[in-house]
């Protein structure tokens, strides 16, 4: 028996008791908000999930950030220019930035962060995947070296990143740069003791199961926050979070799906509600490889014209959604505000299905529509629409999420309604991952050479205006061929006490809380 472990366990328990029972009244200028679970991690290297992101966005920063509307704005890089042939970037980094430790932020920290993400055994999380185009990344991944050859420190505030293939989006990837000196000072498990970012808040404490506490970073380059800190209270049930808000135990609540209806309906929240569309496309997947009639564009068009988005929004989402017609959402660079709306047109749908050789649905074999339990109602409604309007026999099958997603990604699901959330604010995230032919996440297996060529071209087009024009063209091809149709966008809903100012709900959840003020 390993005694130290048991003892550590008991000590942990005893300490949790002490901490818990001495926890007193909340500090006057502290923002109290909810998170649905413990973060999976609080370090920027293994970072790989949503809750951790909500916290770390306040603690760490990358080359760029976003503003309240979701636009990219410079953060730790003030400017950058492309290298020859788009094979890299030269970054000018912000001066006068300090880490939570007080050490200055320099180009060496960026290189260090990249290396840490790649070194095998570090379990580099979400941000590691953005490093693939860098020269020498594979060698670090393979453990041959820890020096990332393609990242060259020119001086303290100038950095060159060289690629083996073009990647024009590199500057906007949401990295979390960390203090290169922290491991030497605090050891390999430094993140249990300190945070190593440049963000407006530092991590003060993580009391597992209870809360994560942040405190203001004096000397933050964007101005020391005006509040003392942020307390993320772990509240697994959405209803409990809203009740805590009502009772004044929380200042700001990001509503879980289950609590949205209560917030939208109750007039007491009328002046305290904040809403924003989520940077997530939702779409109809029609896989012609699995269900042959979907190979006919007329059948796909008929499916799309059967959709009644207004009915879905009111009936299924109870108002907490927006219509989506294309495959790019607002707040993501490259969004086309003039993208034409698609009508709900049952008559034309019926005509099309007849034209395709299935009048009144005659001759259409049954199709299986798969989904998960939480989406049962929406899918049953869609199935009944397809059945009523087109005469398409749809069988809805509810499956375990862990079975459904791999099957869908493997291209084995004939008909589905699902979504894709943007990991960074550029439309290529949707266009190249969900609808590009070779992408492993092209779940409906729609493939179009002209579309694929535009994506490849966009990936090598550094000029933004030119690139966005390519996006618009690609999106037009996708929708005009009825490769899919956009359905709805989720509405994010939050409530905020009137004495709290400076909270911004962006298409990517909350902006960091560095500009928040509380007048209590």
Partner 1 sequence: MLGYALRRIVGLIGVWFVAIVLTFVAVQFVPGDPIVAMLSDQSGDRALEARLRAEYGLDRPLWVQFVDYLRNIANGSFGLSFRYAQTPVSEVIAGGLLITPLLALVSISIAVMLGVLLGVFAAVRQNSWADTAVILVLVTGISIPNFAMAAFLVYVFAIQLGWLPVAGWGRLDQMLLPVAILVIPPTAYIARLTRTYMLEVLSRDYIRTARAKGLRQRLVIYRHALRNTLVPLLTTVGIIFGGLLSGTFVVETIFNIPGLGRMAIESIFARDYPVTMTIVLLFTVFYSLINLIVDLAYAALDPRIRLGQERGT
Residues 119 and 139: their CA atoms lie apart, in Å, by 9
Bridge partner residues of 252 (DSSP)? 33, 496
Q: Distance between CA 476 and CA 472 in Å, rounded? A: 6
Find the shortest distance in angstroms from Cβ 294 to partner 1: 20
- Of the ranges 20-28, 110-118, 448-456, 489-497, which one interacts with partner 1 (CB under 8 A)? 20-28
Q: What counts of helices (H) and strands (E) characterise the chain? A: 15, 22
The region, left, alpha or beta by phi > 0 then psi within -120 to 50, assigned to residue 331 is left
11 vs 520, beta carbon nearer partner 1: 11
Contacts of 437 (CB under 8 A, 6+ apart): 447, 448, 449, 451, 452
- Establish if 409 lies at the interface with partner 1 (CB under 8 A): yes
- The interface mask with partner 1, positions 35-74, x = CB under 8 A, is --xx-xx-x--x-x--------------------------
Find the binder of partner 1 among 275, 289, 421, 457 (CB under 8 A): 421
337 binds partner 1 (CB under 8 A): no
Looking at 184, 440, 465, 519, which residue binds partner 1 (CB under 8 A)?
A: 440
Q: Is 27 or 450 the residue whose CB approaches partner 1 more closely?
A: 27
508 alpha-carbon distance from chain centroid: 6
DSSP string, 250-288: -SEEEPPHHHHHHHHH-GGGTTTEEEEE-SEEEEEEE-T
Q: How many residues does the chain have?
A: 520
Backbone dihedral region of 172: left (phi > 0), alpha (psi from -120 to 50 degrees) or beta?
A: alpha
Least distance (Å) from partner 1 to the CB of residue 495?
A: 14
User: Residue 237, interface with partner 1 (CB under 8 A)?
Assistant: yes
* Part of the chain binding partner 1 (CB under 8 A), chosen from 146-154, 171-179, 238-246, 304-312: 238-246
The secondary element (H helix, E strand) that includes residue 12 is helix 3-22
Of the residues 86, 164, 240, 275, which one makes contact with partner 1 according to CB under 8 A: 240
Q: Which residues, numbered 197-226, are part of the site for partner 1 (CB under 8 A)?
A: 207-210
From 74-82, 301-309, 406-414, 499-507, give the range in contact with partner 1 by CB under 8 A: 406-414
The answer to the question of residue 234 lying near partner 1 (CB under 8 A) is: yes
Residue 17 within binding range of partner 1, rule CB under 8 A: yes
Burial grade of 183 (CB within 10 A; 0-12, 13-18, 19 or more)? middle
Given a contact cutoff of 8 angstroms between Cβ atoms, the answer to whether 246 and 46 are in contact is: no
Q: Does 267 bind partner 1 (CB under 8 A)?
A: no
Of residues 182, 235, 352, 382, which one binds partner 1 by CB under 8 A?
A: 235
Which of 437, 340, 345 has its CA nearest to residue 390? 345
Stretch that binds partner 1, among 177-185, 328-336, 386-394, 404-412 (CB under 8 A): 404-412
What's the min distance (Å) between Cβ of 442 and partner 1?
Answer: 10
Q: Which stretch binds partner 1 (CB under 8 A): 240-248, 293-301, 344-352, 487-495?
A: 240-248
Provide, rounded to whole angstroms, the least separation between the CB of residue 468 and partner 1.
Answer: 25
- For residue 408, give every residue at least 6 positions away whose Cβ sits within 8 Å of its Cβ, in sequence order, or none: 285, 370, 416, 418, 443
CA–CA distances in Å: residue 374 to residues 99, 179, 238, 288, 379: 42, 41, 15, 26, 10
Q: Which residues bind partner 1 (CB under 8 A)?
A: 1-3, 5-6, 8-10, 12-13, 16-17, 19-21, 23, 37-38, 40-41, 43, 46, 48, 123, 125, 207-210, 233-237, 239-240, 243-244, 246-247, 249, 400-403, 405-406, 409-410, 420-421, 440-441
């Amino acid at each position: 028996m390993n005694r130290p472990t048991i003892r550590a366990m008991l000590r942990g328990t005893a300490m949790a008791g002490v901490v818990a029972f001495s926890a007193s009244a909340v500090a006057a200028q502290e923002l109290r908000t909810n998170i649905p679970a413990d973060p999976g991690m609080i370090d920027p290297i293994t970072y790989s999930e949503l809750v951790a992101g909500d916290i770390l966005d306040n603690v760490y920063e990358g080359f760029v950030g976003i503003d309240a509307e979701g636009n990219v704005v410079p953060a730790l890089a003030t400017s950058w220019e492309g290298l020859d042939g788009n094979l890299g970037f030269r970054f000018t980094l912000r001066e006068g930035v300090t880490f939570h430790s007080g050490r200055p932020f320099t180009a060496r920290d960026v290189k260090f962060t990249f290396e840490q993400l790649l070194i095998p055994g570090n379990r580099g999380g979400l941000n590691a995947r953005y490093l693939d185009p860098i020269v020498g990344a594979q060698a670090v991944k393979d453990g041959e070296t820890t020096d990332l050859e393609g990242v060259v420190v020119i001086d303290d505030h100038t950095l060159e990143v060289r690629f083996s293939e073009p990647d024009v989006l590199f500057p906007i990837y949401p990295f979390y740069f960390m203090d290169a000196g922290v491991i030497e000072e605090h050891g390999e498990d430094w993140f249990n003791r300190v945070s190593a970012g440049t963000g407006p808040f530092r991590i003060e404490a993580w009391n597992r199961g209870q809360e994560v506490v942040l405190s203001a970073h004096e000397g933050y380059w964007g101005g020391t926050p005006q509040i003392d800190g942020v307390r993320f209270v772990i509240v697994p049930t959405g209803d409990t979070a809203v009740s805590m808000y009502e009772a004044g135990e929380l200042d700001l609540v990001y509503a879980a799906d289950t609590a949205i209806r209560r917030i939208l309906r109750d007039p007491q929240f009328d002046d305290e509600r904040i809403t924003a569309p989520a940077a997530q496309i939702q779409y109809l997947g029609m896989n012609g490889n699995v269900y042959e009639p979907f190979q006919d564009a007329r059948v796909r068009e008929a499916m799309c014209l059967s959709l009644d988005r207004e009915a879905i929004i009111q009936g299924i989402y109870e108002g907490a959604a927006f219509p989506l017609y294309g495959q790019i959402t607002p707040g993501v660079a490259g969004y086309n505000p003039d993208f034409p709306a698609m009508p709900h047109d049952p008559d034309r749908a019926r005509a099309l299905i007849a034209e395709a050789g299935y009048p009144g649905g005659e001759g259409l074999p049954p199709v299986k529509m798969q989904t998960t339990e939480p989406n049962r109602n929406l899918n049953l409604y869609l199935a009944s629409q397809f059945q009523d309007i087109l005469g398409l026999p749809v069988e809805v099958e509810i499956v375990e999420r862990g079975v459904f997603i791999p099957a869908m990604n493997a291209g084995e699901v004939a008909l589905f309604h699902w979504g894709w959330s943007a990991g960074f604010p550029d439309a290529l995230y949707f266009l190249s991952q969900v609808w590009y032919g070779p992408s492993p996440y092209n779940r409906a297996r729609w493939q179009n050479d002209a579309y694929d060529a535009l994506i490849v071209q966009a990936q090598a087009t550094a000029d933004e205006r030119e690139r966005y024009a390519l996006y618009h063209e690609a999106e037009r091809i996708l929708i005009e061929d009825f490769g899919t149709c956009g359905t709805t966008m989720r509405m994010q809903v939050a409530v905020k006490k009137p004495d709290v100012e400076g909270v911004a709900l962006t298409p990517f959840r909350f902006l960091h809380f560095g500009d928040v003020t509380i007048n209590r």
